[in-house]
Amino acid sequence: MVRGLKRLLVLCLDSVPPTLLFGKLLEKLPNFRKIYENGTHGVLRSCHPPITVPAWMVMMTGKNPGRLGIYGFRHRRGSSYNEGYIVNSTHVKEPCVWDVLAEHGLKACVVGLPPSYPPKTIHGNLVSCMITPSAEKEYTYPLELKREIQRLVGEYTFDVPFRIEDRDGVKRHLFEMTERRFKVAEYLANNKSWDLFILHEIGFDRLHHAFWKFFDEAHPKYVKGNKYERIAEEYYSFVDERVGSLLSAIGEEASVLVLSDHGSKAMQGAFAINQWLEQMGFVKFVKKPDSVTEFDKAEVDWSATRAWGWGGYYARIFFNVKGREPQGVIPEQDLPAVKKELKEKIMHIRDPTGRLMQNAVFEPEEVYGEAIGDKPDLMVYFNNLDWRSAGTVGHETNYLSENDTGPDDSVHSMDCVFMFRGGGGGRRRTSQEMKGGNIIDIGPTILRLFDIRPPSEMEGRAIDLD
């Protein structure tokens, strides 16, 4: 293990897949390539589900989503049929790596890591993430840091609209957002005291969802010669330049860790889960929708409905259980049999060509052991996550070629990037490959880099960087 660490910069590249950073684009990214060639690199496996929230908190706490009680951005509220909430920083009850470092007198600077709104007190400085409603809200710790950021960049940008048809607008706002983020990061790196610096960039995720079909020849909707064909190279190169500037600002003594929380790949389509559940006899409508309708706005006969689902990169299935849901119909003692029935039907779903989909169905307790909070009853991946889940109803077919909630060209994958380059004398002369890592190992790894024994409650293991 690397010893004598002075400072550590952690670059958190949301949704970046190894196929792009280690493959197609690496030769065009000189700063990332130097880290790759002078340190340790490898492919990490994401958590279940491979989604921004909870994945970054799995890394920073060393706890799985079940122990965190976080299963995605949006959660069902209790046993409600149509009430939900967005996860925020207050739902993270476990200590993060910077909390452990603070116990040893070490300071952190955290920029944009989700979920970090509303901002919590840390030993150092914090700028909140893309779930921040607007720059009018308080988004920093300490509070006065907001005024410094306003003087530096004006109105700070947390996120960009990306599920829209105006791709020129998405591109413009994407580059503007990232420019401001790195300007703030350089300012903090140069003007604040820190031992651990974490910078998260959501722009990669937005790039992939808005533009994947334009630059990936394997995407079913790719058109050769389109105007955005080089946008992935443009954006990755743009970030690479700013990474180079940030590395110059922090100096040669700092070590660098580059991570992603999940990968990305071409979306093959969306499967209309609630339509299919209706066809299988699990959902009953008072009046069946004759046009595309959000499930929450459909006339559902809850007295005859046994299960329903949510859309997203994976499907969340909820059962209508007697004594739990307001109009529950499944006796609790019958729930295991109903789960088994539905699992078997899901595993027999075929794609539009008639080929059996490679689906996966999990119960939270099976995946995590302990599963607290507002969890789904079943978690479903359609065809190795190539297909997303569509919650709307009223489509002519269960197989949609587009996302049902706005343009979205990519889905998530389990493979994430990992690169580490030691500072000062800790650099390697040749690249070393790391194998078998998981994102839950990152928290223990960061602590061990500071010569701090990870708390026994952390589930991961420190990655060997000798």
Q: What is the CATH number of the domain that holds 128?
A: 3.40.720.10
Residues 359 and 426 in one domain: no
> What is the tally of structural domains in the chain?
2
Residues 250 and 273 in one domain: no
Q: What is the pLDDT of residue 426?
A: 60
Residues 107 and 224 in one domain: yes
Whether 96 maps to a domain, the answer reads yes
Whether 233 maps to a domain, the answer reads yes
Residues 107 and 142 in one domain: yes
Answer yes or no: is pLDDT of 464 > 60. Answer: yes
Residues 216 and 294 in one domain: no
Q: Per-residue pLDDT tens for 324-358?
A: 999 999 999 999 999 999 999 999 999 999 999 99
Of the three residues 407, 440, 459, the one that is the final residue of a domain is 407
Q: Per-residue pLDDT tens for 384-418?
A: 999 999 999 999 999 999 999 999 999 999 999 99
Average of pLDDT values for 443-453? 97
Q: Per-residue pLDDT tens for 102-111?
A: 999 999 999 9
* Domain extent for 342: 269-407
Q: What is the pLDDT of residue 3?
A: 47
Residues 308 and 392 in one domain: yes
Q: What is the pLDDT of residue 252?
A: 85
Q: Quick count: other Cβ atoms within 10 Å of Cβ 422?
A: 22
Q: Per-residue pLDDT tens for 279-294?
A: 999 999 999 999 999 9
Distance between CA atoms of 316 and 376, rounded to whole angstroms? 6
Q: What is the pLDDT of residue 4?
A: 52
Q: What is the pLDDT of residue 49?
A: 98
Residues 187 and 230 in one domain: yes
Of the three residues 407, 426, 457, the one that is the final residue of a domain is 407
Q: What does DSSP say about strands 196-201 and 140-141: parallel, antiparallel, or unpaired?
A: unpaired
Q: What is the pLDDT of residue 10?
A: 98
**Structure confidence at residue 6 as a pLDDT band (50, 70, 90):** confident
Q: What is the pLDDT of residue 424?
A: 75
Q: What is the pLDDT of residue 431?
A: 79
| 8 Å CB contact between 21 and 32 | yes
Residues 230 and 288 in one domain: no
Whether 364 maps to a domain, the answer reads yes
Of the three residues 356, 386, 407, the one that is the final residue of a domain is 407
Q: Apex CA 331: angle with CA 330 and CA 337, to 5°?
A: 75
State the chain's mean pLDDT as an integer. 96
Answer yes or no: is pLDDT of 7 > 60. Answer: yes
Q: Per-residue pLDDT tens for 104-133?
A: 999 999 999 999 999 999 999 999 999 999
Average of pLDDT values for 6-19? 96
Q: Per-residue pLDDT tens for 410-431?
A: 999 999 999 999 987 566 666 7
Whether 461 maps to a domain, the answer reads no
Residues 332 and 389 in one domain: yes
Residues 433 and 393 in one domain: no
| 8 Å CB contact between 153 and 185 | no
Of the chain, the end-to-end C-alpha distance in Å amounts to 5
| 8 Å CB contact between 199 and 11 | yes
Whether 185 maps to a domain, the answer reads yes
Answer yes or no: is pLDDT of 45 > 80. Answer: yes
| 8 Å CB contact between 4 and 465 | no
Whether 464 maps to a domain, the answer reads no
Distance between CA atoms of 442 and 422, rounded to whole angstroms? 16
Average of pLDDT values for 77-104? 98
**Structure confidence at residue 458 as a pLDDT band (50, 70, 90):** very high
Single-letter code of the amino acid located at 86: I
Whether 252 maps to a domain, the answer reads yes
| 8 Å CB contact between 95 and 444 | no
Whether 218 maps to a domain, the answer reads yes
Residues 38 and 132 in one domain: yes
Residues 273 and 379 in one domain: yes
Tell me the β-bridge partners of 124: 108
| 8 Å CB contact between 212 and 264 | yes
Q: What is the pLDDT of residue 425?
A: 58
Answer yes or no: is pLDDT of 241 > 60. Answer: yes
